[in-house]
Structure 1
């Protein structure tokens, strides 16, 4: 009877945490879906002949920013969250723009978002508390999802600047992405 009481108390006290974690997963999926739509709209609006444009010599080109977003999305989701062996950025060809058309790059990005969202849908809420090494810092899987969202925004913003510098008006910002 004592064990039953302890188990009941544990379930009652931990259920709000589980609900919050499920809400975090749902919110993260919604954010990734919105981010995908906006990023693909940005990528589509830039003419293919401008994909090699760099705001400065040191900057990534428009296409390099786009594919870097895909690489980071793949790495954060599949390697850190999904435990797949990480791709090596320097030798990877899947996320390099060389010899790829605009349509091929956009399809790769779309597929990478699909894979990341599918992985997140299968995450057990308690897994969000697992801590990992993240460039020498300890971060939970929950924090890694938030870092990923920031990273996407950072590189997408560079793409928007490239559009402006080429006389294009970027699509209107969409909230919650």
Structure 2
């Protein structure tokens, strides 16, 4: 019995993406060029990176439907995506990219069958583990996005912005304290 399938995978991805879009909306456009340190992606580039990286899994599982990654052209695909990440974009364009790519990937997740999610994909020689389920691999963009969203939340703090999720938690705690004091 599987308690977490395509529907839940898509919904959890949408939740993560919606929170990323909220963060992207709260950062002023004039801060989209901000870099936390030399050599780091800018805010706008991090957001574009988040938006386009699910295409890796889309290419593997939907376009090519790979059963092995031994001959998959990671370097070619990553080069194309890197070029797209560094394209100059307005804040509105970044937000639209996040929305459109998020909707596209969530639809892919939602349409996956249990049989498809259970299929194993073999990794190249020398990599461990030797294989992963499509389910685990298709969940990777959400985990990747949460990693970068943590960076964005720290950048928000550096810019003097309290992240929305922190504000929401503080509001819930204040309400609980007020209720306990009554």
TM norm structure 1: 0.77
Q: 1:145 to 1:93 in 2, by over 3 A?
A: closer
Q: 1:91 to 1:29 in 2, by over 3 A?
A: closer
Q: Structure 1: which 5+ runs fail to align?
A: 1-15
Partner of 2:92: 103
**In structure 2, how many angstroms separate the alpha carbons of the residues matched to 1:156 and 1:62?**
10
Residue pair 1:70, 1:95 contacting (<8 A) in 2 also: no
**In structure 1, how many angstroms separate the alpha carbons of the residues matched to 2:84 and 2:163?**
24
Partner of 1:58: 39
Q: 1:133 to 1:165 in 2, by over 3 A?
A: farther
CA RMSD of aligned residues (A): 2.4
Shift in Å at residue 43 of structure 1? 0.2
Residue pair 2:6, 2:113 contacting (<8 A) in 1 also: no
Q: Tell me the matched-pair count.
A: 155
Q: 1:172 to 1:120 in 2, by over 3 A?
A: same
Tell me the SS of whatever aligns to 1:132. strand
Q: Structure 2: which 5+ runs fail to align?
A: 65-72, 170-182
**In structure 2, how many angstroms separate the alpha carbons of the residues matched to 1:134 and 1:148?**
18
Instruction: Kindly provide the CA deviation profile for residues 73-92 of structure 1, in whole angstroms up to 9, marking residues without a partner as x.
Output: 2222x112213597723234
State which drifts further: 134-143 or 124-133. 134-143
TM norm structure 2: 0.75
**In structure 2, how many angstroms separate the alpha carbons of the residues matched to 1:55 and 1:93?**
19
For 1:165-176, what aligned pairs fall within 5 Å after superposition? Answer: 165-172=158-165
Q: 1:121 aligns with which of 110, 129, 132?
A: 110
Residue pair 1:70, 1:109 contacting (<8 A) in 2 also: yes
Q: 2:56 aligns with which of 75, 87, 96?
A: 75
